[in-house]
Each structure stands twice: as C-alpha cells, then as structure tokens.
Amino acid sequence: MRAIRRFTVRPVLPPALSALGDLAGNLRWSWHPETQDVFEYVDPERWESTGRDPVKLLGAVGRARLEELAADADFLARLGSARESLEQYLTGERWYQRRQRTGEDLPSAIAYFSPEFGITAVLPQYSGGLGILAGDHLKAASDLGVPILGVGLLYRHGYFKQSLSREGWQQETYPVLDPDGLPISLLHEENGTRATISIALPDGPDLLARIWVASVGRVPLLMLDTDVEGNPDHYRDVTDRLYGGNSEHRLRQELLLGIGGVRAIRAYCRITGHPAPEVFHTNEGHAGFLGLERIRELTVAEGGPKLDLDTAIEVGRASTVFTTHTPVPAGIDRFPRTLVEQYFSEAGPVPGVPVERILELGTEDYEGGDTSVFNMAVMGFRLAQRANGVSQLHGHVSRGMFQGLWPAFDEAEVPIGSITNGVHAPTWVAREMFDLAAGQGAERESDDTDAFWAAVDKVPGDQVWATKRVLRDKLVHDARKRLRSSWKKRGAATAELAWIDSALDPDVLTIGFARRAASYKRLTLMMRDPERLKSLLLHPERPIQLVIAGKAHPADDGGKKLIQDIVRLSDDPEIRHRIVFLPNYDIAMAQPLYPGCDVWLNNPLRPYEACGTSGMKAALNGGLNLSVLDGWWDEWYDGDNGWAIPTADGVEDVDHRDDLEAAALYDLIENDVAPRFYDLDAEGVPTRWLEMTRHTLKSLGPKVLATRMVRDYVRQLYAPAATTAHRLNADYAGAAELAAWKKKVRAGWPHVHVEHVESSGVGDAPEVGDTMSVRAFVALGSLAPEDVDVQLVYGRSNGDDELLETGIESLHVAESYEGGRHRFDAEHVLDHSGSFGYTVRVIPRNDLLASPAELGMVALP
C-alpha cells in the first residue's frame, strides 16, 4: 500500500546529549574522525548499518541506549570535547581573518554556485568530479575561514545507483531521498513560515522552491527544492534528479539554480543577517543565469538602483568569476536558441531585461560557431570579468577553444587563466596515514602543513609499509563485500560465490582505476591486449591486481558497453581473483579505495582530462601515479614521483594510437612498476618503492591540497574581483563611467590606426646591449592618449615573421599633432642574441579592465 503522505519523526535527545544533535547537524563530522568516534560509540553496529550516517543513527537508537549514554561519564566527556572542538572550529580566527586584520581588501562574502556538491556519502547530491571538487572547495574554504556561501539544488533522487545485470550491463535505480532524513534543515522566516522563492515561467504559474541549508563547517550551503505544495507535479519534478531529462528540463533546472539561487541568497542574508556576497563564482556554466538575475536587480527590480543595462553589466561582470571545467564539447551546455527566447519573454523570470540582449550574450557569433544555439559557457565568459580553467594545460586548451571570443588576440593573450584543482586532505587521507605523521609530532588540526611534510622523512620505512598493508587489506575486504552483493544482484547463488573469499590479495601490487565511463577516459585501454594483461595479472613472482569502478551516464550506451566489456573480462574464472569491477563508484567506495591502492592509473585521451583529482587523493595516501601526461599530472609530474605513460599525440588513427599507448602501459608495469614494488630488502621492505612514495608525498603533497586551491582563488580571483567591484559600486558612478568609456572606445576604434613606425639606434650588425629607439605615429581619432596603450611587442621571429616568446613594453606619448595624431616613443635594450622581430599595436587602456584583451580590440600597423 502506498502512503499518501510521509514524514520523518525526528528523535528527541535527552538534554545531556543535546550536543549530539549539534554534531550531527554540522557536516564537519564527515572529515573529523574524533567526532565520528563519538557516533560510533553511541551504537557501533548501527553506525555501520546506517552507512555511518549520524542523522539516521540518532533516529534509530532506542530511548534505553540514549538514557544509558546520558549517564555514562566517559561518553559525556568525549561528547563534550567533540562539541568544544566544533565550537572552536566554527568561531576561531583562521587564515582569512588574519589576512583581513592586515587590512587587505577582501570580499565580505563570496557566493559559490554549482549544480552538484559531493560532501559526504550521506548527502548524495553529486555525480562525479565536478561535485566532489565543489564539496572540497567548500570544506577547504571553511578550514581557511573564507566566507563562502554555497548554492545548489536538492535533487530528490540525487544521481543514480549503479548495479549490474547478469550480462554485465549497467542498471540504474533512483532511490527516493527523504529530505527530513538528510543532514539539512529548512530555512524559515522569522515568523516561523518556511522561506520560499519563486520564479515566473512563461505559460504556467510561478515555480516555487523551498530552501534547505546544509552546514559544511563554517560554510552554509543553500539547496533549492521544488518538491513543494503549490507546485503542479511537473514543477515538483524540476529537482527530480541530477543531469536527467531533456533540454527544457535542464533549462528549468538552470533557471532555478542561477536565478533562484540569487533569490535564495537574498532571502538567507535577509533572515540571518549574513553579509551579502560581493563576488559570485560560477562553477561551470550551468549556473550562468545568475548574471541575468543580478542585471534585473540592478536595472528594473523594485527598490533597486535602476541602472541602465550597460552599467549593470559592468557591475555584474566585475564581481563575477567563471570557471570552465571541460574541453569536451559535449560537456558544455548549449540550448536551442528558440527555447531560451521563449523562456526569457516578458512573462519569464527576468521581465524588463530585453530578450535580444540576453540572446546576444549566449550567441556563438564567431567563426565556426552555431548561431542556432545558446551557449552557457559563452555567456559565462561574457558575464564574468575573470575566468579560469582548472590546470595549466586546461587553461591553455581553453584559450584555444574560446579564442573566437577574442579573435584579435593571440591565444596566449586570451583572458582565461588557470587555477589547478586540489583535494581536501582531511576528507581523503586515511586516518592511518595521518596517525603515521602524528607519531612524528605533526598535528592533524593545525594550519601548519609543513610539519606534516617534514614528518614524511622521519617515519621508518617498515612502519609506512605496514600501514600500506593495513590499508590494502581494508580495501580487499571492502571489495569482497561489494563483489558478493553485486553477484547476488546478478542472480548468483551463494554456493557459486566461494571464490570471492579469496578474490584480491592484500600482498599483491594493487592498481586502482575509477572514473566516469566517458569515452575519452578510455576505461578499456588496459584490455587492449587481453593476453598481455592476463600475463601481468598472473605473473608467477610479480603479479598485479586491478580494482576498477565507474558509472556511465544513463543515456550513454557507448559507456555502458565499455563497462560491460570490462565486467565480462573480469568474470573470467582464470583471472577474476585479480581483476574486479565494483559497481556504484561513489564517496563511500572512494574513501577506502584510494588509500588501499599502490598505484593509481589514468589513461585519458590527451588533452581531454581538464584536471582530474582522483590521482591527487591517491598521492596523498602514498599511492604512486601511473598516468598519461594530462590535466594536473602534466604540470606536476617531475620524473621521480610516479610514471608518465607515453602518448602517441598526433597519430591520427585512433585504434593505432590506442595500441601504441596500451603497449607502453604494459611495458611500464612489467619493466618498472612491478619490479620496483617487489624488490624487497632483508627486512621485507621495498626501499626503492618507498623512496618514491616519500618523494611523491613531499613533492605533490603541498600542491594538491584544496586549501592551496582556495587560497589561489582568493588571491588571484576573489580579492581582485572585490577590489574592482568596490571601485565600481560606490554609488555605481564608477560602473556608469566604465560603461560610457567602453561605448566611446568602441565607437572611436575604427579611427584608431598605427600609421607609421620608425626605429633607430641599431646599425647593420646589432649586438646584445644596443638600444633601439622606436617612434610610432598613431591616429587616435576622438580618443585621447590616456584611453589607449601603445605597445611595442617584440620577440624571437621565425621564418614566417611570426613572433614567438613575446615581451611587451608600453610606449609613452611624446608629441601630439592636429587631428588626433600622436607620436609615441620607447627605448628598448636588446637583451637576447638571435633573430629578433617587433611590431607596434594599440589596445584600449583602463585600470578597471582585468585583461588587455577584455574588449577584444586591437589596432596594428
């Protein structure tokens, strides 16, 4: 029988145990082992059976046990100290506050928008890397005291759960999540009613959403949910699941996230007194509509400043940061233009903002663009003054990919920077690893990670090795449990499953490979030559074992086929004890997986992996990376901290390319990886292996941390954005001036020319140290010399007169003539031997531009 209504009765804790509710109500427990110990003590069995879920645990323990605990002095002491630790964590002064105290101009708050957040296994609101990254961003911000407000959606089914059919075909299920049983709480108005936001949609009533708040340490995460009374059924389904449905469904989700997200922030700040964000960060293009809502607030909203559109765009741009996350075209949201047009009509969510201007923002009006679509990444770049990719290589690839938006500039000057992703160590590093360092005096709680890296050399090799054995053993046991339950679902009888008790071996070199089954990730590269793989798995002295996991998007049959191929291979009785596919890759699986692996394998098709973070998590646990030089590994591989799988870049035939790269992978494992792992000294310790482990920890450890990443965001993007925004926002006069200046420069630009360039001072045989004098005669029309930067661009010149390794020097105005003509001069000292070339160019100049390419305009001779 189906219930017509359901709700969850929250437990009432005895007053002596009220702190348990506080601990369960803040997700900091998920990266704080001492708090987890407290929950475990409450009821060890239920702690495991609820999947280590404090809210479910407290709902499941009986009154008798609670009363027992309320009288247990030992427990109360531990509870008290965990509560005290949380209090200190939430209120103490941290990195950000210390910077503020030195008078630095930092934003009072930053809003961080993402379609998914992966914070803990018990709040399954993520599909993969993007969500995990967003979760780690919030946690690291919390650790550093950075005042971020997260904004996302609450999906009734989250993503999906993966299982396998008998034939190894991916099956998807969508369990219903009861929000009342999740570690979140509803936002209420001061009068006790629930806070809601609404969005006008054409051809229907307003879309309503309630606002859930998850406390991620110091960071509130707002999650919008349309499953509310008052919404018709098809509106309730707007937040049904992550990355499901057709274009229109996705568009509605993104309207909710972007526009609804800004409204949720306004409600939250109004109710709680939280400072309003001064910077808006959109994690991938999905939340880009937030820019339109901010334009509406500034132009037409009641009670707003009623700016003109161009001024409002300047205000919004200055305070917006856009991070692009993928070089794979299918990963970028593109909507049919007509759909966007329909949704942003006057009956839409931002009435008063002209639909033609909205459409322009997402138009691919460059060479090779498709003008029938609305591109969210393109709008992202146009509405954000600062943008970045997520590794150096990805920054480079993105500059090439989006160069069409700044066609007058060389790729290197396209204003897309990069900040390499990082991972949240307290979430991803096994407790046993932290304990090793703690044995050498490094403190887990402290800000001082240097002590941690210093400890790496002090821990004796046999201890490191014994710990890795423990972690491998834990993984083996977890994997067997998962295999057993998977085989039962696949219809096997218990009697058929005895082999699982000896599947995997805690003393065999363990290679992990887990990732989405997107085609560029090449899940099946390792089985390119099944016989060769088999001989590695079954090697008599130096065997390897493979632990594999990954989900395919429900609509991606190609990805499901790859999974099936791997599953079928691993079903082979000859090798099934050495190669396993574990269904349902998620945080709960990932946490024991990374520490239990000796080697982390990654073999994407270069350069499609924007960054990748799983290898970072493996490295922090003393695992060695064996990877194609893509994403982060291209940047930080140093020759000794793991292995680079050689790539056959440029080989056009994909099959041939895969053959070459797979052969290189097998060779590396056979000749380098396995021999090193099994080369034990007299004490049974692989000294040369551990040397690499230590070097990995020391060389990568400090770089791969999410705290490093968040500090980079603060310094390179958030703080500069806030500074520009402050200059524009004092009564908006700065923004109006900037908008007017841009208009003037755009109008005047057709009359800007470099008419003539002279140089002197270098004779027929120039030498290093000679000074070259340059004089450029430039027509500026109606523009003033202050409006422009006249630059000498110089460098090595190749045979095609192409300038390489360029440097730039500004010329100064020396003389002005009638009719808007000027002479600009510079002296340049030749400081390199070899071929030399130069040119002179004019670009717009204004202190409030973040990049010289921002307006996309340049004048050359």
Ligand X SMILES: *Cc1c(COP(=O)(O)O)cnc(C)c1O
Binding site for ligand X (CB under 6 A): 128-129, 132, 515, 585-587, 590, 612-614, 617
Q: Which contacts qualify for 166-172: CB closer than 8 Å, 24 or more apart? A: 166/490, 166/491, 167/564, 168/563, 168/564, 168/567, 168/568, 168/571, 169/560, 169/563, 169/564, 170/551, 170/552, 170/560, 170/563, 170/564, 172/554
CA neighbor of 239 nearest in space, from 122, 117, 118, 153: 153
Q: What is the dihedral of CA 415, 712, 126, 39, to 10 degrees?
A: -170
Report, in Å, the least distance between residue 584 CB and ligand X: 10
Nearer Cβ to ligand X (510/613):
613
Q: Which helix (H) or strand (E) holds 642?
A: strand 642-645
Nearer Cβ to ligand X (132/144):
132
Nearer Cβ to ligand X (516/727):
516
Report, in Å, the least distance between residue 751 CB and ligand X: 50
Report, in Å, the least distance between residue 79 CB and ligand X: 30
Nearer Cβ to ligand X (586/634):
586
Calpha distance 232→262 (Å, rounded): 23
Nearer Cβ to ligand X (452/513):
513
Do 603 and 525 form a contact (C-beta atoms < 8 A)?
yes
Nearer Cβ to ligand X (129/145):
129
Report, in Å, the least distance between residue 425 CB and ligand X: 13
CA neighbor of 726 nearest in space, from 106, 99, 102, 103: 106
CA neighbor of 487 nearest in space, from 511, 509, 473, 503: 503
Sheet holding 821-829, edge to edge: 753-760, 771-779, 821-829, 812-817
CA neighbor of 322 nearest in space, from 390, 406, 242, 392: 390
DSSP 213-235: EEEETTEEEEEEE--STTS-HHH
Calpha distance 475→598 (Å, rounded): 11
CA neighbor of 550 nearest in space, from 596, 518, 591: 518
Report, in Å, the least distance between residue 707 CB and ligand X: 17
Nearer Cβ to ligand X (230/331):
331
Residue 554 has which token pair? 């429900």
Report, in Å, the least distance between residue 760 CB and ligand X: 56
Nearer Cβ to ligand X (27/132):
132
Calpha distance 356→234 (Å, rounded): 28
Residue 380 has which token pair? 């992202």
Pairing of strands 320-323, 386-389: parallel
Calpha distance 717→712 (Å, rounded): 8
Report, in Å, the least distance between residue 810 CB and ligand X: 42
Report, in Å, the least distance between residue 242 CB and ligand X: 13
Report, in Å, the least distance between residue 239 CB and ligand X: 22
Report, in Å, the least distance between residue 618 CB and ligand X: 9
Range 254-264 burial, b when 16+ CB lie within 10 A, else e = bbbbbbbbbbb
DSSP 81-136: HHHHHHHHHHHS--HHHHHHHTT----S-EEEE-S-EE--TTSEE--SHHHHHHHH
Nearer Cβ to ligand X (124/291):
124
Strand partners, 223: 152, 212
Calpha distance 609→664 (Å, rounded): 19
Report, in Å, the least distance between residue 609 CB and ligand X: 7
Strand partners, 151: 113, 222
Nearer Cβ to ligand X (401/518):
518
Report, in Å, the least distance between residue 515 CB and ligand X: 4
Nearer Cβ to ligand X (231/584):
584
CA neighbor of 186 nearest in space, from 227, 132, 142: 227
Nearer Cβ to ligand X (612/622):
612
Nearer Cβ to ligand X (127/724):
127
Report, in Å, the least distance between residue 669 CB and ligand X: 20
3-state secondary structure of 827: strand
